[in-house]
Amino acid sequence: MAEKKKQSNKSLKMKSEIANMINVTHDPVLFITILTILLAITMFIVLPLINILKESFLYEGNLSLHHYTEIFRLTYNKEIIFNTLKLGIVVSIISTIIGFLFAYASAYLKMANKKMLNAIAILPIISPPFVVGLSAILLFGRIGLISRGIFGFENAEIYGFRGLVLVQVLTFFPVAYLVMVGLLQEIDPSVEEAARDLGASRYQVFSTVTLPLMVPGIANAGLLVFIQSVADFGNPMVIGGNYTTMAVQIYMQGIGSLNMSGATALAIMLLLISVFAFLLQKYYIGKKSYITVTGKVSRARVLIDDKKIVKPISIIIILISILVGMMYILIPIGSFVKLWGVDYSLTLDHYKYVFNIGFKPIYDTTRLALIATPITGILSMIVAFLVVRKKFLGRTYMDFTTMLSIAIPGTVVGLGYVITFNKPPIVLTGTGVILIIAFVMRSMPVGIRSGMAALQQIDPSIEEAACVLGADSKKVFTSVTLPMIKPAFFSGLVYAFARSMTLVSTIIFLVSAKYSLLTVTTMSQIDQGKIGVAYVYSTILIVIVGSIIAIMSYALKKMGTSTGKIDN
Amino acid sequence: MKKGISIKDMTKIFVINNDKNVVAVNNVNLEVQPGEFVTLLGPSGCGKTTLLRMVAGFETLTEGKILIGEENVAKLTPDKRDTALVFQNYALFPHLNVYDNIAYGLKLQKLPKKEITERVQKILDLMKMNDFAYRVPSQMSGGQQQRVSLARALVMEPGVLLFDEPLSNLDAKLRIHMRDEIRKLQKEVGITSLYVTHDQSEAMGLSDRVVIMKDGVIQQVGSPKEIYQRPANSFVANFIGRANDINGTIQSKTEEGYVIDIKGITYNVKSDRKYSVGDNVGLIIRPESIIIGKESYKTVVTKSIFMGENHEYEVNWDGKVIQISQSNPFGKIEYELNQEMSIGFDESSLHLL
């Protein structure tokens, strides 16, 4: 009986899928859009991964496990995997603790300068991923301002594990902070008041209510940091020294020793690690959230102003903030210093040098990023709209692949692109097109998620109303949906631009003589020991990103006043 | 151990910024007897919730004292006070099941395991909640959650039980059901209760005494009957039910009150207020106390609505709007719009302000 029912349910489902599909073909614009996007996702997200996988099982033209056995045969490779995992775990634990401290302070404590916390969280987004590494060398390295200048250490060693931990923690703890501060603010204060009322001391409230409620959030933040840490390419490249991680080794082997197939097996391993962490976060821990249960926050939280609690936490936060601030403030300063560690006199030499070799990297990067930004923005909103509002065959595929691509490390994508697009049928390597595609594919997933979040807040009946009044899918999207999700659209644009300008890992595989990109140029300057020049490029990069973001948010503020109120 | 509450000269001032203060509670004095059920009733923003939160310990007093039993608790944190609060939005611990929610406070007191189990079980029995002892809050309806919240407070056997609009998130039918249940439980356990609400029928249905507040000041304290029949002022009269404000003149004093002239007709009104002959005074009469057809005054009907169990009229009485509620309209004359209607007052239901 049950079996029969299952069967009929199945065929019913089938029928409705087919009906949906036929429905979609009645609307040609919609149909073509869906097809194009599915094709693009397949080509630029799925196909490169499949090619890596295929390549990793081929050795001298035959199906073989050679590349994998090679990994486990060589102690060096095993060490690299161990290094990556160790770094990821240590960094995610420390970052989560610091992030929690910041989040707790922001949501619970009566403190001045709370805006500073958010400012610090934004810094890593607008700067390329290796600047903290670079600054760490100049502060704590052999020629470091603090290590040698203040403490007089002759042989301070920043390269390696400890340096990497420091640098990654400072870069990634804001991720943990942003995840947790949102959740802490959603805890209903009356739940904690209830505990207090039933006889719990302030510490007992924290340990028996706040902390248990935050366990899923903490695990979430930790895993997200872990994914970022194992995927990080810039910092290990700059400051890793002999401590090699998988992301770096994939590049070294693929581009450095031109052993693409050797790199593929390692890329698959890295992919598995981060996808595993991502799925764990998404489907296991994500489901355990308690926060939604408590529902609407009933009244504002009474902030803790007890000096015994506020003071020590403030001091720790201020110290960490100063450290983070120093890392970034050093960039413009360093661009004017003659020779760090030796001659601290100010000079414009580095700028002259950059002006002499030309603006090409600056111009190329900005142009390509500016082309990629609107494409990313519009594409993200269309995908978000399709996934949230439309029913069609391939919807789950579209949703899942774009979401999963958040977890795919940039070096893996880069390797996949090189393997896939440097030989017919499609040759794209060396062109600007592949760079733009890389920019779009790397920043689109986040845009899609924020678009989906915005759409889920909007009552579908508003769109249905437009439809009833005679608008087709295209008209509904452009005249109703898009205006309503304008804030998400613009913040998506800002993110896409910043992300494109600062991207290193993927595009380092794709640059050519024709296009030189700022981040890659900066990396090679660091490699050549031209720290001052690297700082000039970084400064210019941050100024460009910062000013474009400022212009965009100003424009958004001017236009966005009418859209802020729609949330049913 | 049930305890009384004694609030003395309580004032709460919220400082908004340097030159703006809000006086939320203004010099309030209130005595709640052990075992008594007292309701704080008033419109939103009247200071009732602030007062309750000061008793619970979530807000500090700007001035004054709170005694619970014999102890001045004004300086104690909430966990050190012998109070338990039932929250408007239930505030259950979402990570704990019903049993652990109820046991939470007892565990903090480090009671022996056996005693905890017994006391939780007793409450579960009392409230007939054994069936969902191991459910988590997200699997329960609002009504069930509020019962758990009540059980969690009751199990502490606090000296004072506090309620912060506990029924306002429930639908109308459930609200009445829970109201009766709270009253029954309170009578059974005999616990001192202070209850905040903006719903007058809740206040009437639950309380031994009602405290009416407005703008941080107590307007009247009394039994539901006193508050309804002998309101202290026009605000109270209009907040509890509907009222017609009318004017009269004191004609002479009597043993128990005054003879009052209202538009040429005199009434004997009982009152202990101090007035002199010739004073203009305000009186209150409820819409249901107006007698249709008694030939005292001539009015014109301006509104007529049949409501089933009663018939609502509004009439124009020399430029003044008077509300009339005719109960049991079955078989009585129905007045049309603009029709003339004679009305009169029942002497005993006139209340002198």
Q: If you average pLDDT over every residue of chain A, what do you get?
A: 84
pLDDT higher than 80, residue A363: yes
Residue A565 within any structural domain of the chain = no
Bridge-based pairing state of the strands B244-253 and B280-285: antiparallel
Contact status, residue A230 vs residue A273, Cβ threshold 8 Å: yes
Domain-embedded: residue A6: no
- Residue B138: count other Cβ atoms within 10 Å of its Cβ: 13
**pLDDT exceeding 70 applies to what percent of chain B?**
100
pLDDT score recorded for residue A297: 54
Pick from A342, A363, A393: which residue ends a domain? Answer: A342
DSSP A406: G
- Residues A252 and A391 reside in one and the same domain: no
Amino acid of residue A353: Y
Q: Residue A52 domain-assigned?
A: yes
Q: Domain-by-domain residue ranges, chain B?
A: 5-238, 243-352
Asked whether residue A567 is assigned to any structural domain, the reply reads no
Helix (H) or strand (E) holding A451: helix A432-456
Q: Say what the ipTM of the complex is.
A: 0.80
Task: Count the domains in chain A.
Answer: 2
Confidence class for position A563, pLDDT limits 50, 70, 90? very low
- Same structural domain, A338 and A380: no
The answer, for B110 touching chain A at a CB cutoff of 8 Å, is: no
Does residue A121 carry a pLDDT above 80?
A: no
What rounded mean pLDDT belongs to chain B?
A: 91
Inter-chain touch B93–A191, beta carbons under 8 Å: yes
CB A240 within 8 A of CB A91: no
- So what's the pLDDT on residue A371? 94
For B264, residues 6+ apart whose C-beta sits below 8 A from its C-beta are none
Q: CATH number, domain at A385?
A: 1.10.3720.10
Q: Report the alpha-carbon distance of residue B275 to residue B267 in Å, rounded.
A: 15
Chain B CB contacts of A200 below 8 Å: 79, 108
Interchain contact, A191 vs B104, CB within 8 Å: no
- pLDDT, mean of residues B27-36: 94
Q: What is the pLDDT of residues B175-192, one digit of tens each?
A: 888 899 899 888 888 899
pLDDT at A564: 37
Residue range of the domain that includes A92: 78-258+269-342
In a domain, A5, yes or no: no
Residue A427 corresponds to which tokens in the numbers above? Answer: 């040759």
Domain check: are A372 and A464 in the same one?
yes
Choose the final residue of a domain: A342, A374, A397: A342
Smallest CA–CA distance, residue A222 to chain B, in Å, is 20
pLDDT tens for A496-554 read: 998 899 888 888 888 877 788 888 888 888 888 888 888 899 899 888 888 888 887 78
Q: Is residue A566 part of a domain?
A: no
C-alpha to C-alpha distance for B202 and B148, rounded to whole angstroms: 20
Q: What is the pLDDT of residue B4?
A: 92
Whether B134 has its CB under 8 Å from any CB of chain A: the answer is: no
Residue A308 lies in a domain: yes
Percent of chain A with pLDDT over 90: 25
Q: How many angstroms separate the CA atoms of A436 and A364, rounded?
A: 11
The fourth-level CATH superfamily of domain B243-352 is: Nucleic acid-binding proteins (2.40.50.140)
Q: Give the pLDDT band (50/70/90) at residue A140.
A: confident
User: Quick one: average pLDDT of A94-114?
Assistant: 90
Are A344 and A122 in contact by the 8 Å Cβ rule? The answer is no
Q: Please tell me the predicted confidence (pLDDT) of residue B177.
A: 87
Contact B138 A208 (CB under 8 A): no
- Kindly state the percentage of chain B with pLDDT values over 90: 60
Contacts of residue B87 in chain A, CB cutoff 8 Å?
190, 193-194, 298
User: b/e for A417-434, b at 16 or more Cβ within 10 A?
Assistant: bbbbbeeeeeebbbeeeb
Residue pair A369/A501 in contact (Cβ under 8 Å)? The answer is yes
The arithmetic mean of pLDDT across residues B96-120, rounded, is 93
CA distance A217 to chain B (A): 13
Three-state SS sequence of B185-210 = HHHHHCCEEEEEECCHHHHHHHCCEE
Contacts of B77 in chain A (CB under 8 A): 196, 201-202
* A303 and A386 both lie in a single domain: no
Please give the pLDDT value at position A291. 55
Q: Are residues A379 and A274 in the same domain?
A: no
A56, A264 Cβ separation under 8 angstroms: yes
**What pLDDT does A561 receive?**
43
Together in a domain, A298 and A238? yes
* Under 8 Å between Cβ of A565 and A492: no
Residue B276 has pLDDT above 80, yes or no: yes
Give the SS3 label for residue B323: strand
Choosing from A342, A374, A406, the residue where a domain stops is A342
**Is residue A305 located within the same domain as residue A438?**
no
**Chain centroid to CA A65:** 32
Per-residue model confidence as pLDDT tens digits over A202-255: 899 999 999 998 988 899 899 999 999 999 998 998 888 889 999 999 988 888
**Do A55 and A84 share a domain, yes or no?**
no
Report yes or no: B255 at the A interface, CB cutoff 8 Å: no
B85 CB neighbours in chain A (<8 A) are 193-194, 197
> B73 touching A, CB under 8 A?
no
Q: Worst-scoring range by mean pLDDT, A435-449, A460-474, B139-153?
A: A460-474
CA distances from B46 to A243, B24, B51, B211, B219 (A): 66, 7, 10, 12, 11
Whether residues A47 and A93 share a domain: the answer is no
Closest-CA residue of chain A to B157: A198
AA letter at B307? M
Residue A51 phi, psi dihedral angles, 5° rounding: -65, -40
Closest C-alpha among A428, A411, A373 to residue A43 = A428
A252-278 residue pLDDT tens: 888 877 777 788 888 999 999 999 998
Contact A298 B84 (CB under 8 A): no
User: How far off is chain A from B58, nearest CA to CA, in Å?
Assistant: 8
DSSP label at residue B335: P
pLDDT at A185 over 80: yes
Which of A186, A190, A192, A198 is most worth mutating to test chain B (most B CB atoms within 10 A of its CB)? Answer: A198
Mean pLDDT computed over A311-324 = 89
Least confident of A528-532, B42-46, B251-255: A528-532
Q: Is the pLDDT of residue B103 over 50?
A: yes
- Asked whether B341 and B315 are in contact (CB, 8 A), the reply is yes
- Spell out which chain A residues touch chain B, with contact meaning CB-CB distance below 8 angstroms: 188, 190-191, 193-202, 204, 208-209, 212-213, 290-291, 293-296, 298, 302
Task: Name the E strands within A304-396.
Answer: 337-339, 343-346
Pairing of strands B192-197, B160-164: parallel
Q: Do A197 and B56 touch (CB under 8 A)?
A: yes
Indicate whether B312 pLDDT > 90: yes
pLDDT digits (tens, 9 = 90+) for B201-211: 899 989 999 99
Residue B266 above 60 pLDDT?
Answer: yes
- Residues contacting B63, CB < 8 A, separation 6+: B9, B10, B11
The tokens describing A309, both together, are 């609690």
Split at pLDDT 50, 70, 90, the class of A152 is low
Topology of domain B5-238, CATH: Rossmann fold (3.40.50)
Measured in angstroms, the CA of B91 and the nearest CA of chain A are apart by 4
Residue A88 in domain: yes
